[in-house]
Structure 1
Amino acid sequence: MTEMVHGTIPAAAGDPILPRWWRTIDKWTMSCVLILFGIGMLLGFAASPPLASKNGLEPFYYVTRQFGFGMIALTVMLAVSMMSPTLVRRLATIGFAASLAAVMLLPVFGTDFGKGAVRWYSLGFASLQPSEFLKPGFVVVAAWFMAASQEIGGPPGRAYSFVLALVIVGFLAMQPDFGQACLVLFSWGVMYFVAGAPMVLLIGLVGMTVVAGTFAYNSSEHFARRIDGFLSPDVDPRTQLGYATNAIREGGFFGTGVGEGTVKWSLPDAHTDFIIAVAAEEYGLLLVLAVIALFCIVVVRSLIRLMRERDPFIRLAGTGLACAFGVQAMINMGVAVRLLPAKGMTLPFVSYGGSSVIASGIAVGMLLAFTRTRPQGEIGDILRGRGRA
């Protein structure tokens, strides 16, 4: 609590790793993530039993699996948060290369599990979605390129990162997974903006996105069906969006009560993409606002700490990770309330899914590592010093 009230206490370089980690970590962000996972487990007890019943499994089969995935995710998060930025960058580069190779091989070895998009590898005991692990690795690698381009005589890192983003978007669009593709482009755009990109280029990027979206609409039945459903003034009550909309309406401000919701029996993805509809129906607007507040605290708190960071790589990578984390949550909840077309994107740490929760643990672990307090002068001190010179 001392850090939450008075700020982080800088650690001496010779301190043991655990005390130094505890004094320099952002405890607000870590606490919010733990609460989000707890809320996810609570909602899992409500949303998972209907699916388990349909599949002939034990009532809390999926809850138990999610708890196991969550323990792995939180362990990885804490381990990564103890690493130095240099070590994080090296491991992220290796992980990015492996994830990109896995995404490229999806058309050959992947499966769609009957959902119309080849996004997963079936491992028998579980499934693996490599695009979830690709995102944090890409953010770190792209930030490394952009930071290198700011050095005197450095490589054209911004151009390299843009080409890399286009390659990733192309392979994601082949699945098709336009939601993850948009998130990759958004992350790159945010980092490029922070790195000092001209507005003309960013406007051009938006124009290219519109052109690409138009092409996807005309060439992909999967994409066109989701856009048409979003633009339609009427919602078919027998679709997932229809069930979710009705559940949110029925929940009201305080909800129908624990275990009293009915949408979980109708929504195939009630435990994953539409978990927020279950929260809104049984616990009402209050819990939804609490979830939104937790995500906002993680993003805003991280960005405030990164504003004081001198190292351009850490500043860019941390900004990309924080914004991607927040925007993914915004997309998931926006789809549930029909503010956005259906994307098939999970709510970090809340939705069921091994790949999602473990990849989120890696991403937040990187973010915690980048936002740790380090013995350095703040960037504002440097700017003021230059002004006096």
Structure 2
Amino acid sequence: MIKNILNNTKGDRWIWLIVILLSIISMLAVYSSTGTLAFKQGKATETILFKHMLMIFGGIALMYISHKLDYRYYAGISKVLMFITLPLLAFTLIFGSHVNDASRWIAIPGTGFTFQTSDLAKLALITYLARLLSRKQENIKDVRKAFIPIMGSTCAVFVLIALANLSTALMLFGVSILLLIIGRISIKQIAVVCLAGAVLLAGVMLLGPRRHTYYSRINAFMHPEKANPDKSFQSSHAKIAIATGGLFGKGPGNSTERNYLPQSYSDFIYATIVEEYGLIGGIAVIGLYLFLLYRCVKIVTKAPKAFGALLAAGLSFSLTIQAFANMAIAVGLGPVTGVPLPLVSMGGTSILFTSIAFGIILSVSRHIDENEQLKIEGLKESNKVVVGDLTALA
């Protein structure tokens, strides 16, 4: 059975390897950093690890299924996702579960799990923009047919996410702009989208329900010496973890700052990794994400259709930007936000949607490989015909 699965696993082999390595790093780091969480919840650390492993294996299963589906089907799926996503984001803002003064989650009845709707929104918007940009290439500069649908969907998703999760909204907006550039949208139209985004951002920052949280976090980042100790607590202990890790780290399971960092297993898991595995371990994680971006860029350049190229580009940019944003925050290069490290941080539905994104990228890669194989087989057949003709003439 395993042999059959391996034989049916297609796409870029290096991306599969990166996913496996990140999953192993995730299990080690989560097991090490959840001792305090297990104590608070009255559970064994192994129980939390087992639940996390189930999510990882479930994600790999979803990635396998996603990569087997022809990527061109995602163009039609994107319309359904956008139809579901917008009202779901609005529902989350009004009726969602409030955690840390933010309404980002919807509780799934009877399961004990929560569902972060912004994870679905990222996947929906990127696939939808890739569809619009690829299908509107002939009249890409037409304001009514192309620009208004693109701008409307981008701005609507941005503001609905930003009201509860500004960092995720900003990253998604940045990825959208990159897609517009790749999709040959004019500079003037891109400038209009950026201006609209700036106006919405100002509205969220000045009038949004979390405006005081944004102010305090930015102030703590800009002026840490003047900030309330409670506001700089996480970033301070993350820096301590990284500083004490040294070159080779304290060793697996020997982190001390995990006992102080409230989110050492999610938002600040990179600090835990550096503390235990040192600068070498931290650079290795960075290298994996850079190599992932490199492999995805190769897929983009080889994709025969615009939709496949835009799809792979958007999803890969989203994953790598999120990864580097998380690591930048851990080392003190940005204000504290709730951004997880893709496929490494402990999470529920975020792991599943990240895995689906990987599966879609691999679906594009699989299509490229199959096309190249068909070309090779076609060339062999034509060579056989030529050889046969020459033999007959002889």
1-structure distance, mates of 2:145, 2:160: 23
Q: Kindly tell me: are residues 204 and 285 of structure 1, through their superposed partners in 2, closer, same or farther at Cα, counting changes over 3 Å?
A: farther
2-structure distance, mates of 1:72, 1:269: 23
Consecutive unaligned residues of structure 2, counting only runs of 5 or more, are: 376-394
CA RMSD of aligned residues (A): 2.4
Q: Kindly tell me: are residues 203 and 251 of structure 1, through their superposed partners in 2, closer, same or farther at Cα, counting changes over 3 Å?
A: farther
2:161 counterpart (158, 162, 172): 172
Per-residue CA deviation, residues 12-63 of structure 1 (Å, 9 max, x unaligned), is xxxx9985x54x5100111101110110001011011211112211122221
2-structure distance, mates of 1:272, 1:198: 39
CA contact (8 A) 2:325 2:339 kept: yes
Letter paired with 2:184: G
- Corresponding position of 1:132: 119
1:270 counterpart (261, 264, 268): 264
TM-score, length basis structure 1: 0.86
Over the matched positions of the two proteins, sequence identity in percent amounts to 24
Letter paired with 1:195: G
Letter paired with 1:355: T
Structure with higher helix content: 2
Per-residue CA deviation, residues 203-238 of structure 1 (Å, 9 max, x unaligned), is 555555555444444331121111111111437486
- Corresponding position of 2:389: none
1:190 counterpart (178, 184, 196): 178
CA contact (8 A) 1:96 1:133 kept: no
CA contact (8 A) 2:299 2:309 kept: no
2-structure distance, mates of 1:256, 1:17: 38
2:136 counterpart (149, 157, 167): 149
1-structure distance, mates of 2:277, 2:128: 40
2-structure distance, mates of 1:241, 1:106: 28
Consecutive unaligned residues of structure 1, counting only runs of 5 or more, are: 1-15, 379-389
Structure label with greater radius of gyration: 2
- Corresponding position of 2:250: 256
- Corresponding position of 2:327: 333
Aligned residues: 359
1:293 aligns with 2:287: yes
1:120 counterpart (98, 105, 108): 105
Letter paired with 1:129: Q
- Corresponding position of 1:3: none
2-structure distance, mates of 1:91, 1:213: 29
1-structure distance, mates of 2:191, 2:91: 33
- Corresponding position of 1:305: 299
**Correspondences of 1:1-389 after superposition (within 5 Å):** 19=7, 22=9, 24-113=10-99, 115-123=100-108, 125-151=112-138, 156-174=145-163, 176-203=164-191, 205-206=193-194, 208-219=196-207, 220-234=211-225, 236=229, 239-372=233-366, 373=368, 374-375=370-371
Q: Kindly tell me: are residues 130 and 371 of structure 1, through their superposed partners in 2, closer, same or farther at Cα, counting changes over 3 Å?
A: same
- Corresponding position of 2:383: none
Q: Kindly tell me: are residues 307 and 254 of structure 1, through their superposed partners in 2, closer, same or farther at Cα, counting changes over 3 Å?
A: same
1-structure distance, mates of 2:139, 2:273: 52
2-structure distance, mates of 1:371, 1:341: 36
Q: CA deviation at 1:307?
A: 0.9
CA contact (8 A) 2:248 2:280 kept: yes
TM-score, length basis structure 2: 0.85
Q: CA deviation at 1:78?
A: 0.7
CA contact (8 A) 2:159 2:200 kept: no
